[in-house]
Amino acid sequence: MATDIKDTAHPFDAASVMGLLPARPRLLALGEPTHREDTLLDLRNELFQKLVEREGYRTIALETDCLRGTIVDDHVTSGSRTLDEVMEHGFSHEWGADAGNRELVRWMRAYNEDRPEAERLRFAGFDGPLEIAAAESPRQALILLHGYLAAHVDADLLPCTSETLDELLGSDDRWTEPAAMMDPTRSVGRSDGTGRLRLLADELAALLDEQRPHLTAVSTPEEWDRARLYGRTALGLLRYHHWMADTSPARLARLVAVRDRMMSLNLLALAERGPTFVYAHNAHLQREKSSMRMGGRPLEWWSAGALVSAELGEEYAFVATALGTLRHQGVDAPPPDTVEGLLYALPEERCVVDARRLAAVLGDTRPAPRVSPWFGYAPLDPARLADGDGLVFVRDVPQL
């Protein structure tokens, strides 16, 4: 079996990844099994650079706040703000502090220098404005959407004034209350005025669609794309806050599902723009249902990747990443009777694996699932090996 498994692995490069696919997809997604490891971020950066140079990809989309991501995009396309400012304000989850993300932004800005607009690289966050312990106020998205419409359509068509929105929104602190994540009574998502706010947000988004012929004629493509982003984000945030205030057993499952739907809508919008390389956790990009435990309760939901795959078919491709060791987090060499253990026995430090061929080699009797001693690393599920388009395996992930 060892010889057969070796035959499923190829050197890590863009050609090996693309060789697994029937054609260049509009969305090529590379998943990671854990966050904030610069070895994996460096691998991501290397692959994106080759996809830019050889395959015509022009956009990278990361699992970070979609509104903050516009700060990064403005920097890499036009040089606005300093790199330090962009890394501080352009990323959520504190990921601007990661060296691999800083190097990505620096390289993209250098690549775009003196290039015509049509050839410039673009950056996008595709997550909602959501942190682990809280969700942002919908203020920014709503006010920006209203401002765009107010600048371009008859005032009589607007469902409200910006002052009305400001009054209904109230203090941003009440939206970002950390205790609301685990205590729905602390959420404002179903308080007085939020129902009207959701209706007004829906009317503003509908007006955007109704006026599309006019708005696309008087706006740049970038202004139109940003306005649509504001509409999606406002509606998604208000829906998320609505479910934060829910007291039913479905509350947490609805929250993770709403988040991934927000992600999927952002990815589909990016696919309209052209070939996009996507990087996020495996759980957000896989085609099968995702699962986790939260608040002592098992949760299942359809990931952004599953939703996008249902829409795009073969124009969405997903390549998972797995690793051998992460010793600084207590993840030592994998047991030899696991998929990771079989790949760990190969001599390559990193490789691209034909996952479907590997599944065929292993047959119906799959290896046992690996058990991680650290919650932050999600091992492969051997039963779902063939559900992705490929697999990147990194033998050892040292602490850098």
Mean per-residue pLDDT for 386-393?
96
pTM over 0.75: yes
Whether the CB-CB separation of 23 and 275 falls below 8 Å is answered with no
Secondary structure (DSSP) of 354-373: -HHHHHHHH-SSPPPPP--S
pLDDT, position 300: 94
**Average pLDDT over every residue of 209-228:** 98
Closest CA to 278 of 222, 317, 313, 321: 317
Q: How many CB atoms lie within 10 A of CB 3?
A: 7
DSSP secondary structure of 21-48: SSS--SEEEEEESSSS-HHHHHHHHHHH
Question: With 60 as the cut, is the pLDDT of residue 3 above it?
Answer: no
DSSP letters, 182-214, are T-GGG--TTSTTHHHHHHHHHHHHHHHHHTHHH
- Backbone φ and ψ for 370, nearest 5 degrees, come out as -75, 145
What token pair was written down for 184? 């729905």
Q: Where are the domains of the chain?
A: 6-131+264-397, 135-250
Whole-number average pLDDT of the chain: 96
Instruction: Please give the Cα distance from 289 to 283 (Å, whole number).
Output: 8
Contact 73, 61 (CB under 8 A): no
pLDDT at 188 exceeding the cut of 70? yes
CB 181 within 8 A of CB 244: yes
135-250: which CATH number, 1.10.3470, 4.10.240, 3.40.50, 1.20.1440? 1.20.1440
Looking at the predicted structure, is the pLDDT value of residue 2 above 70? no
Query: Residue 46 — pLDDT band, cuts 50, 70, 90?
Result: very high
Q: What is the mean pLDDT of residues 2-26?
A: 92
Per-residue pLDDT band at 95 (split at 50, 70, 90): very high
Q: Are 378 and 283 in contact (CB under 8 A)?
A: yes
Q: Check pLDDT > 60 for residue 348.
A: yes
Band of pLDDT at residue 329, cut at 50, 70 and 90: very high
Angle at 16 between CA 14 and CA 22, to 5 degrees: 100
Give the three-state DSSP class for 134: coil
- 278-289: pLDDT as tens digits: 999 999 999 999
Amino acid identity for residue 81 in this structure:
R
Task: Look at residue 1 and tell me whether its pLDDT is greater than 70.
Answer: no
| pLDDT number for residue 197 | 97
Question: How is domain 6-131+264-397 classified at the architecture level of CATH?
Answer: 3-Layer(aba) Sandwich (3.40)
Is residue 93 scored above 80 in pLDDT? yes
Backbone φ and ψ of 345, nearest 5°? -75, -15
The residues facing 321 across adjacent strands are: 392
| One-letter amino acid for residue 57 of the chain | Y
Residue at 186: amino acid letter:
R
Mean pLDDT of 185-200: 96
Q: CA 293, CA 200: separation in Å to the nearest integer?
A: 35
Q: How far apart are CA 41 and CA 279, in angstroms?
A: 9
Please state the separation of Cα 16 from the chain's center in Å: 23
